[in-house]
């Protein structure tokens, strides 16, 4: 495939070339060859800087992918970070490497900060803020944060998106979609990991992170959910100073949850902080169905009276009523050691392969449940439980919804934070009442009554439209307008090969016809002569020879004789 077919813009072509060069540098030319990107041949392997063979042998394939992602820039770093929490999609060695990817880059100049603010808010920084710090508090691949003071004296933080980052990311996403398509087409074993689905999920996630209005609404929703809860503080969003690329919110002066000595020096209680943090995440998951998906210590500040204040609301998880109900079914199956119910939940919430080994899955689940049966809650490590459950999911190639994976990550992260603050912290015991409430809610008669009413309403609608639909089908049959569409799947490669074969066969027949025709003319020995032979016959032989040579070269270049 010619790389020009991917896109006609110079920017895309240039970025494709950068990506291919970096992939070759880290020893992935075998993958590029399998993708059949003909333009790669024009790059020339010899002119591309590449790690020496002995250096490549010292590092694993997963390490090479991580190094390539780091060099490819912010989009690929974000992709690696997303994959690092998807053990159901990629192998463990890649997970461990992608966890090392850091989203830290040098800040962009303050002059550009001012330009973005003026473009987005319609006025210069001096008119919008009483003061504005030139040095950023933090800088990442998508945005950086500055402290400021608004006219009423309120201290705020302003999150400003990097100039042109949206264009850069959209270019990379377009290329990732093309590469995912090529990988699925030319590398059959990749279908186990569903490259297109991975890119689609990543595109959705990173586009949400680029929308600061969405993040502001996340903060407002979070603030409403914790109204009346004195243990959690959520910053206020200043909407008059917020757009898709600029987010202004209240500045919170606190101590990071990871700075335990500072917490103690300030008279705060690490045990209470751990409990407040756990209650907050459990409420978010089991009551609100809307949770902070990245509650690591750097994203949690602690205020006076052991109040916790989460930061960075760009990545949020959501659990709708149906998903919460399935979680209830899963937990009920675990409590009652009902393996069939657990398998049924996996079928409902995950994408299960047709070749699922049900007997093997049942054995693995039994073994998993036996390991923790009648074990005291305070002896159970939730991170280990989640890792072992994920290993079963990976082994049987069950693809779990991303929000459920994020939920597991959030619980495991919160448990880690809690145990650093208070070594005797017991996340499982704290989760027990929330799980019980979820299971009781599942049995609520009023809820079942609402479900039955909804089903009845759907059936009623179906019965109303069914006669009309049947009549329409019968009318089309009578008029001869009923069409049945057949669609082949997975035969694209075969069609391409058949096209090539038929083209070569036609080409060969033309060459044969030229040779036979030229031979007849030579036998007749008539017309203009060249060296005693008919000129038309000689020309015919030459054309046949050139076309034949061309055909042989094309076959050799395709690697098939």
Please name every residue paired with 232 in a beta bridge, in sequence order, or none if there are none: 308
Please name every residue paired with 533 in a beta bridge, in sequence order, or none if there are none: 530
pLDDT tens readout for residues 463-477: 888 888 888 888 878
How many Cβ atoms from other residues are within 10 Å of residue 202's Cβ?
Answer: 22
Per-residue pLDDT at 95: 87
Domain count, the chain: 4
CA atoms within 13 A on the CB side of 326: 16
Catalytic residue among 294, 312, 364, 426: 294
H helix or E strand, kind and range, residue 249: strand 246-250
What is the Cα–Cα distance from 120 to 142, expressed in whole angstroms? Answer: 16
pLDDT tens readout for residues 158-177: 999 999 999 999 999 998 99
Q: Which of 409, 416, 375 minimizes the C-alpha distance to 389?
A: 409
User: Would residue 307 count as lying in a domain?
Assistant: no
Same domain, 392 and 475: no
Same domain, 464 and 550: no
Same domain, 479 and 503: no
Please name every residue paired with 457 in a beta bridge, in sequence order, or none if there are none: none
Rank 216-230, 317-331, 417-431 by mean pLDDT and report only the highest: 216-230
Same domain, 472 and 497: no
What is the Cα–Cα distance from 99 to 96, expressed in whole angstroms? Answer: 5
pLDDT tens readout for residues 390-413: 888 888 878 888 888 888 888 888
Q: Calculate the CA dihedral of residues 320, 325, 326, 332 and round it to 10 degrees.
A: 150
Write the secondary structure of 365-387 as one string of H (helix), E (strand) and C (coil): HHHHHHHHCCCCHHHCCHHHHHH
Mean pLDDT throughout 104-129? 92
- Domain hosting 74: range is 3-103+169-196
Q: Which of 108, 298, 80 minimizes the C-alpha distance to 206?
A: 80
What is the Cα–Cα distance from 23 to 26, expressed in whole angstroms? Answer: 5
Q: What is the DSSP string of 51-67?
A: --HHHHHHS-HHHHHHH
What is the Cα–Cα distance from 121 to 148, expressed in whole angstroms? Answer: 15
Whether residue 234 contacts residue 250, with contact meaning beta carbons closer than 8 Å, is answered with no
Q: What is the DSSP string of 415-465?
A: HHHHHHH-TT--HHHHHHHHHHHHHHHHT-HHHHHHHHHHHHHHHHHHHHH
User: Would residue 332 count as lying in a domain?
Assistant: yes
DSSP 3-state of 39:
helix
CA atoms within 13 A on the CB side of 335: 10
Mean pLDDT across the chain, nearest whole number? 83
Confidence class of residue 2 from pLDDT cuts 50, 70 and 90?
very low
Rank 36-40, 204-208, 295-299 by mean pLDDT and report only the highest: 204-208
pLDDT tens readout for residues 288-328: 999 998 887 778 999 999 999 998 898 889 998 888 888 88
What is the Cα–Cα distance from 155 to 171, expressed in whole angstroms? Answer: 37
Residue 194 burial by CB count (10 A; 0-12/13-18/19+): exposed, middle or buried?
A: middle
How many Cβ atoms from other residues are within 10 Å of residue 133's Cβ?
Answer: 15
Same domain, 417 and 477: no
H helix or E strand, kind and range, residue 117: helix 110-121
Per-residue pLDDT at 44: 44
Predicted confidence (pLDDT) at residue 482 exceeds the cutoff of 70? no
Predicted confidence (pLDDT) at residue 364 exceeds the cutoff of 80? yes
Per-residue pLDDT at 490: 56
User: Would residue 130 count as lying in a domain?
Assistant: no
Per-residue pLDDT at 40: 46
Same domain, 389 and 473: no
Residue 159 has φ and ψ, to the nearest 5°, of -100, 120
Residue 145 has φ and ψ, to the nearest 5°, of -120, 135
Q: Which DSSP category does 295 fall into? A: -
pLDDT tens readout for residues 45-73: 444 555 555 566 678 889 999 999 999 98
Same domain, 52 and 177: yes
Q: Let me know if 294 is a catalytic residue.
A: yes
Same domain, 552 and 522: yes
Last residue of a domain, one of 145, 177, 196: 196
Q: Would you state the structure tokens that stand for residue 68, as one six-digit string?
A: 């390539």
Query: CA triplet 344, 349, 355: central angle to 5 degrees?
Result: 65
Last residue of a domain, one of 484, 506, 540: 484
CA atoms within 13 A on the CB side of 153: 0
What is the Cα–Cα distance from 173 to 531, expressed in whole angstroms? Answer: 64
DSSP 3-state of 158:
strand
User: Would residue 236 count as lying in a domain?
Assistant: no
User: Would residue 293 count as lying in a domain?
Assistant: no
DSSP 3-state of 301:
strand
User: Would residue 406 count as lying in a domain?
Assistant: yes
Same domain, 66 and 180: yes
User: Would residue 269 count as lying in a domain?
Assistant: no
Mean pLDDT throughout 449-457? 78
User: Would residue 138 count as lying in a domain?
Assistant: no
Same domain, 506 and 411: no
Same domain, 21 and 94: yes
What is the Cα–Cα distance from 436 to 229, expressed in whole angstroms? Answer: 21
What is the Cα–Cα distance from 230 to 226, expressed in whole angstroms? Answer: 8
Residue 61 has φ and ψ, to the nearest 5°, of -65, -40
Same domain, 437 and 453: no
């Amino acid at each position: 495939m010619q790389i020009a077919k991917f896109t006609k813009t110079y920017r895309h072509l240039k970025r494709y070339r950068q990506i291919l060069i970096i992939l070759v540098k880290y020893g992935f030319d075998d993958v590029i060859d399998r993708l059949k990107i003909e333009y790669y041949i024009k790059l020339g392997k010899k002119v591309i800087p590449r790690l020496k063979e002995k250096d490549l042998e010292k590092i694993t394939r997963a390490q090479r992918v991580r190094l390539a992602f780091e060099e490819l820039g912010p989009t690929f770093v974000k992709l690696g970070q997303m994959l690092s929490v998807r053990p159901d999609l990629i192998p463990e060695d890649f997970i461990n490497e992608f966890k090392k990817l850091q989203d830290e880059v040098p800040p962009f100049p303050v002059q550009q900060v001012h330009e973005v603010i003026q473009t987005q808010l319609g006025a210069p920084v001096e008119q919008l803020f009483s003061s504005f710090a030139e040095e950023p508090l933090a800088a990442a691949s998508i945005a950086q944060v500055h402290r400021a003071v608004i006219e009423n004296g309120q201290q705020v933080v302003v999150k400003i998106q990097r100039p042109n980052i949206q264009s850069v990311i959209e270019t990379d996403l377009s290329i990732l979609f093309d590469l995912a398509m090529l990988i699925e087409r030319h590398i059959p074993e990749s279908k186990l990991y569903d490259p297109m689905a991975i890119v689609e999920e990543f595109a959705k996630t990173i586009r949400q992170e680029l929308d600061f209005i969405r993040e502001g609404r996340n903060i407002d929703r979070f603030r409403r959910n914790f109204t009346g809860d004195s243990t959690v503080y959520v910053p206020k969003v200043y909407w008059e100073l917020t757009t898709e690329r600029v987010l202004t919110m209240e500045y919170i002066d606190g101590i990071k949850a990871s700075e335990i000595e500072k917490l103690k020096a300030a008279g705060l209680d690490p045990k209470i902080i751990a409990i407040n943090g756990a209650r907050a995440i459990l409420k978010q998951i089991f009551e609100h169905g809307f949770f902070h998906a990245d509650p690591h210590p750097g994203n949690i500040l602690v205020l006076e009276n052991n109040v916790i204040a989460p930061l960075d609301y760009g990545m949020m998880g959501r659990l709708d009523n149906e998903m919460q109900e399935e979680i209830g079914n899963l937990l009920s199956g675990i409590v009652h050691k009902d393996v069939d119910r657990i398998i049924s939940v996996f079928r409902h919430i995950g994408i299960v392969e047709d070749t699922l080994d049900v007997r093997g899955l049942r054995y693995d689940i039994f073994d998993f449940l036996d390991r923790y049966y009648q074990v005291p809650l305070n002896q159970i490590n939730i991170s280990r439980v989640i890792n072992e459950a994920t290993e079963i999911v990976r082994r049987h190639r069950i693809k779990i919804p991303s929000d459920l994976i994020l939920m597991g990550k959030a619980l495991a992260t919160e448990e880690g934070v809690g145990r650093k603050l208070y070594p005797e912290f017991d996340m499982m015991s704290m989760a027990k009442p929330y799980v019980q409430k979820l299971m009781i809610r599942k049995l609520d008669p009023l809820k079942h009554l609402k479900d039955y009413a909804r089903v009845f309403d759907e059936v009623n609608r179906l019965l109303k439209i069914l006669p009309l639909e049947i009549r329409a089908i019968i009318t089309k049959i009578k008029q001869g307008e009923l069409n049945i569409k057949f669609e082949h799947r997975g035969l694209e490669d075969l069609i391409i090969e058949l096209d090539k074969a038929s083209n070569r066969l036609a080409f060969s027949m033309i060459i044969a016809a030229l040779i036979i025709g030229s031979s007849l003319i030579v036998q007749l020995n008539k017309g203009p002569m060249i060296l005693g032979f008919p000129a038309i016959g000689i020309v015919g032989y030459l054309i046949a020879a050139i076309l034949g040579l061309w055909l042989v070269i094309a076959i050799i270049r395709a690697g098939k004789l």
